[in-house]
Structure 1
Amino acid sequence: MAKERKNVEAQGRLPRLRRQASLECDDFATLIERCAILFDALIKESEVEGYSWKINAEGKTIVTVNGEPMAVRLMERLDKHPIPPPPPPKRRPGAPWEPNFMSLRSPQFEWTSTGELTFQIEARMDYGERKNWKDTKTASLEKKLSSILAGLSSASVSISALREKEEAREREWAEDERRRLERARNSETQRRLRRNLVKHTELWERAERLRAFIKGVENRLKFSPLVEQEMAQTWVDWAHKQADLLDPMQGNLALITTLDVQLESWFSGSHYGQVEKGWWPE
């Protein structure tokens, strides 16, 4: 026989609370009454210690201990029983044989009440912190109220400590990420500045190569007839203009000498695809 847990909600009214509450207990009247009595005793004893109770918008029972709210619930353990498939129908004499597909269906189960309750804290806590108190053969939940109250107090400390650890871990991660992004932005700024330097250098070199070629043509024209020199002068003037268009030093020098690089707001330091190789080793 397999044993499972199942949560069954019943509408009732938490004692000492002003609004409708959803107690997580079986829908048998006896268990609803027992759940109400358990919560009543627990709430009365806990309020003396300064605990407060409420039902949140999702219908969960919330107890606040030392400023830490945590959800709690009562669950009943139910026994799970397999339901055997129905016997195949009797075959009439002379009737053709037909396969019995009922034997191929998925297993069916039914649940039966055990009357055994578990009080559970629904919260993230440090490993090993107690969350459950159960009915046992030697003691019922009613005899474990003091242990539950102590457990709620211990749970509040554990919840607070775990949250502080996670917040510290998040702050550390955020600082590491800030430093990583700062290094990545500085590296990307240098990469773009060097890329522009190389681009301007290559443009200037191309312009100087054109000028050297144009100068060679002009020197050769000196030995040509005057008519040819006059006809070629139009080409020489045009060629010099093309060289000047390539030469970055013929434009605004501030665009060459500036160290201001505006990176994109979405820049994360990750490069997708292959980054071109530069002149400088990485």
Structure 2
Amino acid sequence: MSIADIGEFGLIARVVARLENGPKVLLGPGDDGAVVAAPDRRVVASTDVLVEGRHFRRDWCTALDIGHRAAAANLADIAAMGAEPTALLVAFCAPADLAAEWAEDLASGLSAEAALVGASVVGGDMSSSPTLTIAVTALGDLGGRPPVVRGGAQPGDILALAGRTGHAAAGYTILSRGFRTPKALVEAYRRPEVPYAAGPLAAQHGATSMIDISDGLLQDVGHIAAASLVAIDVRTDAFTVPGQMRDAATALGLDPFQWLLAGGEDHALAATFPAGVPLPEGWQEIGRVFDGAGVTVDRKPWSGAPGWDHFR
């Protein structure tokens, strides 16, 4: 049964049936707007858009996978501000012949990923479109803390990482070459494992800057360097190349560090902390902040692409 068969409002009813409201939702879907608790009286907001053929392929990922990926991309941005996610709003544009079950499964994936952090999908919009497009807006609460921005790094700070990098990029490369294994890397592309709790924890431990690694570690750390007017050096000896990643890189004739340092969509978090302060649990030192500008690797310029750029 397609979306055209059941119509817009029939689809809305089916999608809403897949959503569960958490304790932060005071009024869920069904009215002109939802009402979400904001104890801090400030709301952190972020949005991302996923376009079929650019951000996902239905022959690579299930609707459930894509729902998890779409939610994760937005929830990670909230965590990178040091906030706790509270709600998602989703705009869904699709061809009329799309299977209604696909849209329902997408809603289930969005809801399940949001539930990992106690957030809920509270509303959105639908429209017909020749291109399948999913736009998600995430909201979050700072819990009384100041936001952790990109422009606070200071010379002498430690650069640290929470989560993993390179796995999703390796999975993408494997899928693009027509393979489906190693499964662990392919699954990392389909459903990122985001260290959500590490964001608020970093804020509580005095992080001076923070960012979600969505486009590549070097590129995104470069945003911190530019905003903070500092130089940042990343150490390769801080990274361990997993065996399956090394084997896949060897088989494909690639350097695994291109995935680790420039691959995106794992949604790890990078942050800077004052030197001499113990790092929070789950954070690992991977570099240092210096006077100057730009990002280096082992104190040398990086020769490869630093990450993803939609228009480059």
Q: State the TM-score, normalizing by the size of structure 1.
A: 0.21
Q: State the TM-score, normalizing by the size of structure 2.
A: 0.19
Higher alpha-carbon Rg: 1
Question: Where is the helix percentage greater, Structure 1 or Structure 2?
Answer: 1
